[in-house]
């Protein structure tokens, strides 16, 4: 077995945290792992240092984020008007287009060295989606994937009714990951009206609260998501 493999993963719940603060924290962990990997290149097999893995959960105050390949025109109001709806805006380094984060939305940022688990970005994305699909199923909600689109969707076989409940956007470098998923639990969906979510203008957005007709306990969601993610990835939480 590769001496560098380490499936231990530190779970950190950041609570409600400013987007930029969480982004900076992610970046510090991401760079820490990359530095270890760079250092290992000049070391013998017996001197290799293991890389750490982190699983961050949080919620954000109202914020819009645009991926590196996104279209700024998908923000449908002027940036000067963001303060009126108590929202902020960031152009960031993940893939994908524009999305919204806010209270009542569970945001998950795995900052892991994929070489500790597997080296397949497609599998990585699908497992993130699968954790949400399984969590929705825990509440009796059937969800799935739509070919050619990332994220988790409801009514996937009906183009007119299809609606997104979870968005994904990640960044990887040398198999190290950051950014992640945003799962609409009790999120205020009115904020999505100010954007073209993920650049897709013909699909609606939904939440567990809307689908169930009642608010959902966020602590229960965190527990279920944590269980599904650790099982799917083979993580050992510390």
- As a three-state string, the secondary structure of 189-218 is HHHHHHECHHHCCCCEECCHHHHHCCCCCH
Q: What are the structure tokens assigned to 110, written together?
A: 């795995």
C-alpha angle with apex 233: 110 to 20, nearest 5 degrees? Answer: 5
Rounded to 5 degrees, φ, ψ at 196 are -100, 95
The active-site residue out of 58, 136, 166, 198 is: 198
Q: What are the structure tokens assigned to 1, written together?
A: 């077995």
Inter-residue contact 32 to 52 (CB < 8 Å): yes
The count of other CB atoms within 10 Å of the CB of residue 156 is 17
Q: What are the structure tokens assigned to 212, written together?
A: 């169930």
Would you call 198 a catalytic residue per the annotation?
A: yes
CA–CA gap between residue 225 and residue 36 (Å, rounded): 29
Rounded to 5 degrees, φ, ψ at 14 are -85, -5
Inter-residue contact 33 to 113 (CB < 8 Å): yes
Catalytic site residues?
198
């Amino acid at each position: 077995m590769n001496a560098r493999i380490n499936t231990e993963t530190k779970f950190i719940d950041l609570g409600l945290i400013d987007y930029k603060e969480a982004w900076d924290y992610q970046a510090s962990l991401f760079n820490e792992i990359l530095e270890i990997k760079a250092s290992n290149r000049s070391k013998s097999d017996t001197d290799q240092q293991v890389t750490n893995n982190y699983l961050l959960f949080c919620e954000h105050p109202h914020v819009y984020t645009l991926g590196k390949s996104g279209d700024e025109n998908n923000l449908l109001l002027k940036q000067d008007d963001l303060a009126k709806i108590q929202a902020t805006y960031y152009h960031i380094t993940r893939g994908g287009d524009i999305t919204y984060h806010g209270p009542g939305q569970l945001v998950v940022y795995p900052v892991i060295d994929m070489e500790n688990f597997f080296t397949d970005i497609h599998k990585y994305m699908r497992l993130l989606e699968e954790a949400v699909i399984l969590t929705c199923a825990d509440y009796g909600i059937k969800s799935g994937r739509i070919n050619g689109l990332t994220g988790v969707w409801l009514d996937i076989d009906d183009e007119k009714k299809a609606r997104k409940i979870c968005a994904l956007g990640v960044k990887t470098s040398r198999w190290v990951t950051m950014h992640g998923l945003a799962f609409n639990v009790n999120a205020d969906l009115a904020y999505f009206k100010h954007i073209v979510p993920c650049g897709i203008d013909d699909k609606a957005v939904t939440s567990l609260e809307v689908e169930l007709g009642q608010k959902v306990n966020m602590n229960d969601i965190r527990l279920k998501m944590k269980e599904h993610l650790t099982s799917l990835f083979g993580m050992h939480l510390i």
